[in-house]
Amino acid sequence: MASAQISSFGSNAVGIQPPSFRLPDATHVGLVSLAVSSLKASIAFYHEVIGLAVLKQDATTAELGIGETALLNLKELPGIQPIGRRKRLGLYHTAFLLPSRAALGSFTSHLNRLGVYFGAGDHLYSEALYLTDPDGLSVEVYADRPRSTWKSNGTELLSATNSVDIGSLIAAGDGEWHGAPAGTTVGHVHFYIGDLEKAARFYHEAMGFTIMTWSYPGVLFISAGGYHHHVGLNVWAAGSPQAGPTDARLLSWELVLPDLSNLEVLYKNMKRLGWDCSLQADGKLTATDPWGITVHVISG
């Protein structure tokens, strides 16, 4: 198959564009909120291993992030139990994007020093490490390659899961790790869902994401602005029950638009297509997908 380079940031030449409303190019993922079984254990993992700073904390909740920006909200709820891999529909992983390959190399050295097990995958457009939090929820920490190096086959962005050259990755870092550096964000979220066609109707047709990759087995990768994916959707756990009130799980995630001007248009598009959603006076749109995954769309 012939392949070509993606030519520019935010190009509309790659991907399947939504039929009506399209999310603005500067759209990105914001705060991710989790229900956890032990606040103490989860803080230890996300602070000491992942490197997020604790910004706020009380007896049952904590906000963690970078600088003054909260990326992760943890809420300890009574009766919550850890979950097994691919046992529940809902969150597959929260993916923290580091600002450089050097930072990812230093993070790799940090994991080795701690003796923390991790998996790894080279996805062509990024290199990623995979870990599991104390409740069985997966976490990705990754760094993107320059967009000029991303490859497409026709209009589809190419994706793969190849081996990572761990030695080269470690060599790219300086060996020092003082926590997740400035510029770290939630690059994307990835969900276990039950049906790709139904997911496309919600996320692509109604919410306005562009489908970037559709040939990777059992997955759709969708985004705004030509990014490889802000949301991953897979059917690898199809047939499993939705995460319930006693499961460690995603409570909600945020999608951040650059301004308020598109929120009402998005709301009308979702209502026109028959999806239940609400638009609050403070400018927050809330919707829940067919598998109980709640998104808050805000401006910022």
Q: Give mean pLDDT in consecutive 10-residue pieces for the chain, a chain of 300 residues.
A: 37 86 98 98 98 98 97 97 90 98 98 97 98 97 97 95 97 94 98 98 98 97 98 97 96 96 95 96 94 96
Length of the chain, in residues: 300
d(CA 80, CA 106): 34
d(CA 226, CA 205): 17
Q: Residue 299 has what pLDDT?
A: 94
Domain 4-299 homologous superfamily, CATH: 2,3-Dihydroxybiphenyl 1,2-Dioxygenase, domain 1 (3.10.180.10)
Which of 169, 88, 72 has the alpha carbon at shortest distance from 122?
169
Instruction: Give every strand in the sheet of 294-299, ordered side by side.
Output: 53-57, 61-66, 69-76, 28-36, 249-257, 294-299, 285-288, 277-279
Determine contact, residues 236/86, Cβ cutoff 8 Å.
yes
Cα maximum dimension of the chain: 56
- The domains of the chain are located at 4-299
Which of 104, 114, 80 has the alpha carbon at shortest distance from 251?
80
Q: Residue 86 has what pLDDT?
A: 80
